[in-house]
Amino acid sequence: MITTIALSASLALSGSPAHVATKPVTFQGFTLQVPAQWKVKKKGVDLRVVTGACSARAAECEGFLLGGPQAVKYASEGSAYRLGRPYHPSSGVIECVPMKKYYSGQATRVRTSTVAFGTGQRARFTEWKVSCDGSRTKVASYTQRVWYVKAKKVIVVDHWKTPGLGAILGKAVWK
């Protein structure tokens, strides 16, 4: 009984059960193994992977974007993605992701590194803290994480700090 409680507590704290059912998601020449309960939706030529709740108050469902050449081409205010800049495809104001009644404001870079994106590919990973502005004050913030594989023109954008996403992308299998 004590062993069972300890194992359950360990799994709850680590967030990763020993055997999670997965399913493949294939996009732009690579395949990811994601938890089976995640939903994959086509968004134009890109994919949106929904990992959790869809709140009416949020600008998007919990999840992340898998973007190809088009998403890279229009990732920075209607221009091509640029390292050192957050993902901001619109030339206008963007809603605050967790609270769409506010607008995304100042983005501050938290960290940047080069990480594995499957075997043989490297991605430039950048994490941003994005403030949400009310009528006169900053009301909240959220984290934007971006993985950019320049050689393949692939970008992954996560506004929800999806648990385990970095590890999943690190295990991508390229054709």
What was the pLDDT predicted at 91? Answer: 78
Of residues 15, 40, 14, the one with CA closest to residue 25: 40
Model's pTM, two decimal places? 0.86
Are the CB atoms for 38 and 63 separated by under 8 Å?
yes
169, exposed or middle or buried, with CB in 10 Å at 0-12, 13-18, 19+? buried
The answer regarding whether domain 20-174 maps to CATH 3.40.1000 reads yes
Q: What angle do CA 91, 98, 80 make, to 5 degrees?
A: 30
Distance CA 69, CA 64 (A): 16
Q: Where are the chain's structural domains?
A: 20-174
Q: What angle do CA 131, 136, 140 make, to 5 degrees?
A: 30
The half-sphere exposure of 144 on its side-chain side, counting CA atoms within 13 A, is: 25
Q: What angle do CA 75, 121, 159 make, to 5 degrees?
A: 40
What was the pLDDT predicted at 20? Answer: 83
3-state secondary structure of 173: strand
One digit per residue, the tens of pLDDT, for the chain of length 175 reads: 333 333 333 334 444 555 789 999 999 999 999 999 999 999 999 999 999 999 999 999 999 999 999 999 999 988 999 998 999 998 788 899 999 999 998 999 999 999 999 999 999 999 999 999 876 667 889 999 999 999 999 999 999 999 999 999 999 999 9
For 21, phi and psi rounded to 5 degrees? -65, 135
CA-based diameter of the chain, in Å? 59
Ordered strands of the 63-67 beta sheet: 39-43, 46-50, 63-67, 154-158, 138-149, 122-133, 103-116
